[in-house]
Amino acid sequence: MWSIALNTDNTILVEEAAVIQPLIDVLLATYNGERFLSEQLESLCAQSYRNFRLLVSDDGSCDATLAIVESFAAKLPSGCVRWVENPHRGCGPARNFEVLMSASRGDALANWVAFCDQDDVWLHQKLERLAEEMGLLEAEDPNIPCLVHTDLRVVDDQLCTIAPSFVVQQGIDIEKVSLPTLLSVNCVTGCAMMVNRALLDIALPIPRDVVMHDWWCALLSCAGRRSFIAESLVLYRQHGGNQIGAKGRSLNDRFGRALRDGRATLRRVIALGRATVRQATALEIRLRDSGRPATDVETYLRWRSRPLWARALSSRCYYQGPTLDNLCRLLLW
């Protein structure tokens, strides 16, 4: 098995791995990412965990993204980088990642799958730490759906730190993350996540009503095991073009967003509320089809259909995070 790394002069070093490690498929979904993509590819080469394969799917880039990946792949042995044809170009990141998930599941070579965004930077031990934790989760039974995720360091476009911990910045209490809370709010970030093959099996195909691929995987992990590593192992770059991003939660940040695009924000919140109901319905169907209990999802859907006063009495069971966010969800959903 081959491994890749960076020399001190940033040239790529290819060497044969001495220790056999479980293969990880790193899924890279690209779209017009030329500005930051090279830094992400370099950070992949610098991983302490060597046995991984890079699967790439593009969403219809019209910049130098494809050329950057081709140049990178040309320096490596055949098989280290695999292009995956995307039949759903222009449909966004969730479908792009679904194509990659299906490709990894289809050839059944990798034990685990890690999601990779084109504009981030991975720290040296990211894959190694994820693999260690996943090994512990799978120790009893690798056929149980498992998910491992880490904290992130929020940085600007020049990689200067905005917040050392994404979890702290967003006010996430990891101990309270559960299926009931995940049904309304996703607290598991895709670029910091790794899942096993058992979870891929129940995740695919991704229903059309799913909001995002990582949220869907987080929900399904509640049917198995999920573990959080309290280390910021990803430089989560914020540059104005993020699909999701790490929005500031201070009153000043919120007030600024309300002034800039209050109506658009209101429409997005309302639309997300409707989408969470459709996603929960899709989850209920998938769990039942796979022979797993869906009682918590049924209870949630009944709760969402109740009058405002009834939902207000138990909203903290489902809405985790800052009080202002929860109040908006309660009133607008």
Q: Where are the domains of the chain?
A: 2-237, 251-332
What whole-number distance in Å separates Cα of residue 77 and Cα of residue 149?
29
Reported as a single tens digit per residue, the pLDDT across 259-276 is: 667 788 899 999 999 999
pTM: 0.89
How high is the mean pLDDT of the chain? 90
What whole-number distance in Å separates Cα of residue 59 and Cα of residue 319?
33
CATH topology of domain 2-237: Spore Coat Polysaccharide Biosynthesis Protein SpsA; Chain A (3.90.550)
Task: Tell me if the bond preceding 142 is cis, omega within 30° of 0.
Answer: no
The pLDDT of residue 19 is 60
| Residue 265 φ/ψ, nearest 5 degrees | -60, -45
What whole-number distance in Å separates Cα of residue 26 and Cα of residue 14?
18
High-pLDDT (> 70) share of the chain, %: 88
The pLDDT of residue 140 is 85
User: Taken in order 271, 209, 213, 284, is the CA torsion positive or negative?
Assistant: positive
Mean pLDDT along residues 135-156: 96
Question: Which runs of consecutive H residues, i.e. helices, occur in 108-183?
Answer: 126-137, 166-169, 179-182
Partner residues linked to 15 by β-bridges = 3
pLDDT band, residue 258 (cuts 50/70/90) = low
pLDDT band, residue 316 (cuts 50/70/90) = confident
> Does the pLDDT at position 219 exceed 90?
yes
| Contact between 188 and 177 (Cβ < 8 Å) | yes
